[in-house]
Structure 1
Amino acid sequence: MEEVRTAGFWVRLGAGLLDGLIVGLPLVLVSYLFTGTTEETPITSIGNLLYLLIVPVIWSGYTIGKRIVGVRIVRMDGGKIGIGTMLLRTLAAGILYWATFGVLVIVSVLMVVLRDDKRAIHDFIAKTKVIYVK
């Protein structure tokens, strides 16, 4: 049986930056057309949230950025993620990160950098991991 390699910090960061450019930037432009501001609006917030919740579910754990860099989100048993998993991963972690004024974001980054399994807080909450795809 072949060992599954978990994705580390830099590849995950790269995927997130690509998602921001490919999805986030167009959302900001659409929001600007409707509101006249480039600051966060319901259009950008809801658009990003829906993207992060729905796309990985219908696209087998990938976002556009993750697909480009060759990683995807899976359950700990290797199975496909569902909407419940993504709700836990995205919303619960987001609430925790917000409630701690970003302190847990730093803890999560350190976990991905220092732990052998490369899992962040949101991975533990949802029982997921990010793996390299062959």
Structure 2
Amino acid sequence: MESAGFWIRIGATLLDAIIVSIPLAFFSLIITGGENNEELVTDILSFLYSLLLPVVWGGYTIGKRICGIKIRRVDDHSSPGIVTMLLRNLVAGVIYGLTFGIGVIISALMVGLREDKRSIHDFIAGTEVVFDSVDMITRKHN
């Protein structure tokens, strides 16, 4: 399968942000009743979305599914498990925070410049983001 590059990955992330942020904000408002910790609840729900959805939906988030890309493990090309996604999101997030965002910039450059399009969080978790084989067949026939 073909590795997904910088722009398609950014597009999927933006779609996730747009499509998921409104329902998450709504659920946070319901859960908190409009109290001051609404942002914390939204952050927790967002983290759970990015952690759990790829595990239960075969490597997809809503944005990735729309864009025809998915996360998979490099070693056996299987869908990511919970430990893989924890490494990808939590450990990488800590590293990005500790580097004051420099790690995010380096990751973006890695996706844009490396042949395999893998970023820091892909290396930490042993994952890659690839175009879905069904989508690849559709694109070749059009």
TM-score (norm. length: structure 2) = 0.85
- Based on CA coordinates, which of the two structures has the bigger radius of gyration? 2
Instruction: List per-residue Cα deviations over 1:99-123 (Å, max 9, x = no partner).
Output: 1111100000000000000000000
Q: Deviations along 1:73-101, whole A, 9 cap, x unmatched? A: 00002112100000000001111111111
The percentage of aligned residue pairs carrying the same residue is 53
Note if 1:111 corresponds to 2:110. Answer: yes
| Mapped partners of 1:120, 1:36: distance in 2 | 37
Question: Relative to 1, partners in 2 of residues 1:121 and 1:68: Cα closer, same or farther, differing over 3 Å?
Answer: same
Q: Which residue of 2 aligns with 1:48?
A: 46
Query: Structure 1 counterpart of 2:24, which letter?
Result: L
Distance 2:92 2:113 in 1: 19
User: Per-residue displacement from partner, 1:5-56 (whole Å, max 9, x unpaired)?
Assistant: 000010000000110011123222443563367x971211111110011100
3-state SS of paired residue (2:70)? strand
What's the Cα RMSD here? 1.6
Say if 2:29 and 2:38, in contact at 8 Å, map to a contact too: no
Please name the residue that 2:64 is paired with: 66
Which residue of structure 2 lines up, in the alignment, with residue 16 of structure 1? 13
Q: Distance in 2 between matches of 1:40 and 1:133?
A: 36
Runs of 4+ deviating beyond 6 Å? none
- Report which of the two has the higher share of helix: 2
Counterpart for residue 4 of structure 2: 7
Q: In structure 2, what residue type is equivalent to 1:109? A: A
Unpaired runs of at least 5, structure 1: none
| Structure 2 SS opposite 1:41 | helix
Measured in 2, the distance between the counterparts of 1:31 and 1:82 equals 26
Measure, in 1, the Cα distance between the counterparts of 2:38 and 2:19: 17
Task: Supply the AA of the counterpart residue of 1:48.
Answer: S
Identify the residue that residue 81 of structure 1 maps to in structure 2: 80
